[in-house]
Amino acid sequence: MSLLETVDGPAQLRGMTITELTELAGEIREFLIEHVSRTGGHLGPNLGVVELTIALHTVFESPRDRLLWDTGHQSYVHKLLTGRQSGFDRLRQAGGLSGYPSRAESEHDLVENSHASTALSYADGLARADAYRGHTDRAVVAVIGDGAMTGGMAWEALNNLADGPDRPLVIVLNDNQRSYAPTRGGVADHFSALRAGHDGPGVFEQLGLAYTGPVDGHDIGALQEALRRARALGRPVVVHVVTEKGRGFVHTENNELDRGHTVKPMDPRTGKALAPSTKGRSFTSVFGERIVEIAAERPDVVAITAAMLEPTGLLPMRQRFPDRVIDVGIAEQHAVTMAAGLAMGGVHPVVAVYSTFVNRALDQVLMDVALHRCAVTFVLDRSGITGNDGPSHNGMWDMSVLQVVPGLRIAAPRDGARLAELLDEAVAWSEGPTLVRFPKGPTGEDLPAEMTFAGMDVLRRSGSLDVLVVSVGALARVALGVAEGIRAQGIGVTVIDPRWVSPVNPGLADVARRHRLVVTIEDNSRIGGIGATISQTLRDAGVSTPLREFGVPRRFLGHGSRDDVLSECGLTVQDISLAVVGAVADLDGGNGYSTLDGIDGALARLLLRHRSGKEER
């Protein structure tokens, strides 16, 4: 039996020798490479913190001592040491382990928000709470990477950590010189100087914090000694640990782009993906290609990324126009207000960010960009349901949150061709901010319009004017599937893609007035989403046509594939078709479904089951 197989909790580590712990570290790396190669996940960050995590669990006593992982994608080793080895067979899959800390999984997980630069604020609050309540026998430990230290919230916390009562709070600075890509800027330069052992106090000491390091993050004995000294101080202290992201696996060590930050299922011998990640081009790659073409045509266009150069598709532009791509680090708020300043100076900035991260900069979008009518284009990747990364990474709030911003025009392309067209239109708009949002994954084949009406694309028109389906973005294929399903029941249907979904096109009210029922389909929250806004627009225009909105329910969604999560939300062709057929039957005056001509018995039974089991969605 291996050492790892004998560990079902951190207490067992404290009786092991350094030799045994070093052997355990090797077994953990082998386990991670074997299992994450099968499921995919954050391999590089976890290979880099093996010895650090072991040392933390031998010096501190979780869960009495609280361990917080900033961002959290480096918590796989922590999960292995806290009794969750069996769950790695379904890592990041429905019913399996989350790829981030999860309070539902273990008492050893306290913070599961996987957004960066937050752990120091949590830690400050927890340590102050202990001090107020007289608990002096336990510590709070926050592990934060040097990449996350480029985020402004981390420095807001540091500014306050030296203030207030003495309290046992240990900040482990996991310095691997990277976030997704190499860390850039003044913070990175200062940490480099600290690693080199320059004379004089560093920034942490100047802020009033104790500091120790740098410590070799792959030497368990040295780590234990530094952590024990830090704990004994009984006040906020920074332990500067130097680690190597992707350590111990040739294919991550040699990958200078991201050090295996996130890998897809692969052959561990070759590092090659087991299957193509997508069928055809992704939305991200279409954006990346088109923004380069736009930049070649428009010398005033620059791009901004918040430490996500390659994931947001900006790597080709950096390669072609290196001086016109700005990486601000994990600092979305600064990125947005800097973009406002660029626009005021006569430049057209394109801010490329994951949908989930733009939530962090709502005030800046609202007050710094929109209030000044700055011509800034926002490109939101990973909008809608992302799936495997879990609740904090779904981009299901962007349209609800950002529709409140006056003057912001929002586009939702359904395919690759529309993404290129709408990006062109967005960058050409000079009267205020624009936004283009799209999901993770492949674009699929283009879906041409049958005709265009008032700037909206009519994707399908058949039969009488019974149901108007308003398709939002990449759920167009679902909308077209619904159209086929209800048409087969003798119900006339029109499918429209507005392209620009907010503000609502006034022509939509004219179309809705001619139909008996309006249906909206979106992969955004139903609360404050496009469907809700269309409903309000129709009421304002005096249109009495009833409307049904289909979207994401108001709850945090678990991890799983995109298709799994969409199905859980009822956003499938079958679910929506059944509900629409039932709604039409109700319009015909029946209490059940028998009044709808042409409906067969099997469909009637499905409808009744849908009414009883899924209507509350």
Known binding site for thiamine diphosphate: residues? 73, 114-116, 147-148, 176, 249, 332
Residue 407 CA to residue 433 CA, distance in Å, equals 7
| Residues 6 or more apart in contact with residue 263 via CB below 8 angstroms | 36, 37, 40, 41, 43, 44, 252
Residues 6+ apart with CB under 8 A from 176: 48, 145, 146, 217, 242, 243, 244, 245, 259
CA distances from 243 to 52, 53, 146, 154, 591 (A): 9, 12, 11, 20, 66
Residues 6 or more apart from 555 whose CB is under 8 A from it? none
DSSP string, 249-311: -HHHHT-TTTTTSSB-SB-TTT--BSS-SSSS-BHHHHHHHHHHHHHHH-TTEEEEESS-TTT
Q: Do the bridges between strand 301-305 and strand 210-216 make them parallel or antiparallel, or are there none, so unpaired?
A: unpaired
- Binding-site residues for Mg(2+) sit at 146, 176
Catalytically active residues are 245, 332, 360
What are the residues whose beta carbons fall under 8 Å from the beta carbon of 293, sequence distance 6 or more?
none
Could you tell me which residues are annotated as the binding site? Answer: 73, 114-116, 146-148, 176, 249, 332
Element spanning 588, H or E: none
Judged by DSSP in three states, 462 sits in strand
Nearest C-alpha neighbor of 414 from the set 501, 346, 507: 501
